[in-house]
Amino acid sequence: MLQLSGKNGGGQILRTSLTLSAITGQPFRLRDIRASRSKPGLARQHLTCVRAMAEISNGSVSGDEIGSTEIVFHPGKVSGGNYHFAIGTAGSTTLLAQTLLPALWQAENSSTLTLTGGTHNPMAPPLDFLTRTFFPVLTTMGISIETELRRYGFIPAGGGEIFFRFCGNQKLQPISILERGDLIGQQIHCISAHLDGSIADRETAALCKLLDWHKNTILANHTQDADCQGNTLSAEIAYKNITERVTTFGERGKSSERVAAEVAKNIQNYLSSGAVVGRHLADQLLIPMALAGNSQFQTSATTNHIKTNIQTIESFLPVKFHHEPTERGCQIISSSESQNQAPPLKD
């Protein structure tokens, strides 16, 4: 049994461990779960990940309760099927999806996955980020996923619902993303729920001016199909080989101009960095590229989040990640088969 520690990380260590345990059949013990967070241990969304993975993998788990700082997970065999999991709060359905999808798309039969909770959460990638940036790369790797946003879920109410349909026995192909390629398009996207339409108008106009993009790049979605008020503003830039999307959340007391300024700063930082793969997408691509093998992409300087995720992956898989510095502080991250599997993380 692998002995893992979450002392220096958050929920990602838990989610990555669950995913790879189900895929490899390797049981694990994880101690000090989210020990560095202000409220350590399993929150509702993490507990849902644990119990959902136990169900789809026909496995068993101990320590699965709110606030628990240690679990022991024994996976069985992953089975495709029609699954529905509810977080019960505004916890992120996208992080739950990222945990379950890699195991299910390799099951022997097809699956559907319905998840309820938060779909647009400031502490996690919004669903739009998955569908516009992450899933297109998965498509080039041979993975096909149908996605449907059935209802928006904002904090604090949650209540959103997303649906996925995909075949089993899908095998990942290696990727190499070292250049952005030609510019294909730009988009400014505003989502507002139970809010006056003037808010979206001010946010999109301010962002359009800051980025000097044409007005025809603006897309606004006004919805009443949500349990509470919500607002996001995004800027997306699509190239032949990659798409980057940044999002900021509006909130009471935060001006439209400030929301737009935050989005503009983040997308301009990406454009000026010379990076190909954005840092959030880089983190999400690590498991697929480790499973595919012999893959590489260029990104900006790695974060502690990425480093911790890599260490966890290397504990489960006979794979080794490499870092090669490039211009302007960027680097190429590559994966290859390791002759000797890395030792487990130590407490």
- Give SS3 for 151: strand
Q: Is 194 a catalytic residue?
A: no
CA–CA separation, 79 vs 217, rounded Å? Answer: 42
- pLDDT for 303 equals 82
The domain defined by 1-76 folds into Translation Initiation Factor IF3 (3.30.110)
Contact assessment for residue 34 and residue 6, using Cβ atoms and an 8 Å cutoff? yes
Contact assessment for residue 129 and residue 95, using Cβ atoms and an 8 Å cutoff? no
Catalytic residue selected from 74, 194, 305, 323: 305
CATH 3.40.50.1860: does it fit domain 181-271?
Answer: no
- pLDDT for 162 equals 98
User: Could you tell me the mean pLDDT of each successive run of 10 residues in the chain, 347 residues long?
Assistant: 89 96 97 90 96 98 96 97 96 97 95 97 95 97 97 96 96 96 98 96 97 96 96 98 98 95 97 95 96 95 88 96 92 83 41
Contact assessment for residue 106 and residue 98, using Cβ atoms and an 8 Å cutoff? no
The CATH classification of domain 79-171, taken from the options 3.65.10.20, 3.90.180.10, 1.10.3720.10, 3.40.1400.10: 3.65.10.20
The domain defined by 276-338 folds into Ribosomal Protein S8; Chain: A, domain 1 (3.30.1370)
Domain layout of the chain by residue ranges: 1-76, 79-171, 181-271, 276-338
- pLDDT for 339 equals 55
Pairing of strands 82-86, 111-117: parallel
- pLDDT for 344 equals 42
